[in-house]
Amino acid sequence: MTSSDLEQLAELELQKEEEDDEGDEGDEGDEGPSVPLRSGSDSSHPFHDVAQHGIIQVSGDDRYGRKLITFSSCCLPPSHQLNHRRLLEYLRFTLDQLVETDYILVYFHFGLSSSNKPSVSWLRDAYAEFHRKYKKNLKTLYVVHPTNFIRIVWNIFKPLISHKFGKKLTYINYLTELGEHLNYEQLIVPPAVLRHDEKLRLAQTGGPAPSVKTPPPRPPLPTQQFGVSLQYIREKNREATIPPVMQQTVSYLTQKGLRTEGLFRRSARVQLIKDVQKLYNLGKPVNFDDYADVHVPAVILKTFLREMPEPLLTFSVYGPVQELLRVESSLRVSRCKQMMENLPEHNFIVAKFLMSFLHSVSQHSLVNRMSSSNLACVFGVNLVRPLGGAVVLPDLIPINTFTEILVEHFHTVFGSRCPPDP
């Protein structure tokens, strides 16, 4: 079949899918945006016209240090209400903030229709414009709830897509499957997608859909390091002011990683990280020389911070951090200093230890390419997050600004309240 024939077939399939779904989601149109942005009313956002719809979201890191980006078709308004060229520019704007790190793209297909879909020519332009720097660090493209339309469009693009890129595509039929691949709790899933998944499950099993949430965790081991509070680790490791995972990874990276280009930007093999976590949680020794990869301790450090039930800088800083951009530039360092001085004593000590190390990393940025700005993009969402919610895209800018100040102005921010160094 010619490309033109495939395009016509794709359009027919999409229309058929719309007819099949007609009435199933009939009351959704009154709900407004499926994923309203927390900062959607901020008209100063350079892409406010696109961002307000919540089509593209950044959901922090997954459990192995890779950024999670979601694209939700059900949030696309009718085509006459959205400039698709601007949508492409917004996607590029989003990726430009993350493209130097490994990332995951999750595409929620449900909700695409004849009235809101971009044209096939637009898709071609999009693929052509996203050159190698965007594709290189994309680890996986998950297509959730694929249909015949998706498979036909994929065939249209096959002549353009490299074999290496094609291997990154993974079809996900149900949300429970997605939870097997990544940290599902990090994702911002539109309510319409949740309902559609429920409908598909009911059609398959005739019964209610199983929850995608994992069962409650078992009580932690006395030696547990990951996924437990700072206080728990301190109680079980009375001789250690700094959590052992942080002490050992920072010590190793200080000795052998400061001059590694792209430190903290690369991920490591998932199973390898699981194995190291298991060793730590069982209280067994870890020798990073055994792995011959400086990115392993780097990922372990990020994973440790990310899995803390309450972030190192506590939930209390999230609100003040979101207000930081409203503070005059000349006053932001002192505002950040004030926030740090209000931390509990132990959190302050550990935060000072971490930021001292990250400041040292930034001092080698001519070699390792990890400036305070780049480090902020990596660590920000691991240190600051809201209680009971995910970090959405507009919130990243103040979080990254705040973290950059902590790293770049370390001596000023942590200079006056000076507990003994560990």
**Residue 420 within a domain:** no
Q: What pLDDT shows up at residue 395?
A: 82
Q: 161 with 256, same domain? A: no
Q: What pLDDT shows up at residue 404?
A: 97
Is pTM beyond 0.85? Reply is: no
**Residue 215 within a domain:** no
Structure tokens at 69: 């980006």
**Residue 49 within a domain:** yes
Q: Which residues contact 258 (CB under 8 A, 6 or more apart)?
A: 360, 361, 364, 368
What CATH number is given to the structural domain containing 99? 3.40.525.10
Q: What pLDDT shows up at residue 346?
A: 95
Over the stretch 190-225, which tens digit does the pLDDT of each residue have?
999 999 999 998 888 765 555 555 556 578 889 999
What share of the chain in percent tops pLDDT 70? 81
By CB neighbour count within 10 A (0-12 exposed, 13-18 middle, 19+ buried), where does 355 fall? buried
Helix (H) / strand (E) element for 175: namely helix 175-181
Integer Cα distance of 169 and 152 in angstroms: 14
**Residue 379 within a domain:** yes
Residue ending a domain, among 205, 238, 258, is 205
Q: Could you list the residue range(s) of the whole structural domain that residue 52 is in?
A: 3-205
Structure tokens at 422: 């560990």
- β-bridge partners, 142: 106, 170
Number of domains in the chain: 2
Are 62 and 183 contacting, i.e. CB atoms less than 8 angstroms apart? yes
Please state the separation of Cα 334 from the chain's center in Å. 29
Q: 268 with 377, same domain? A: yes
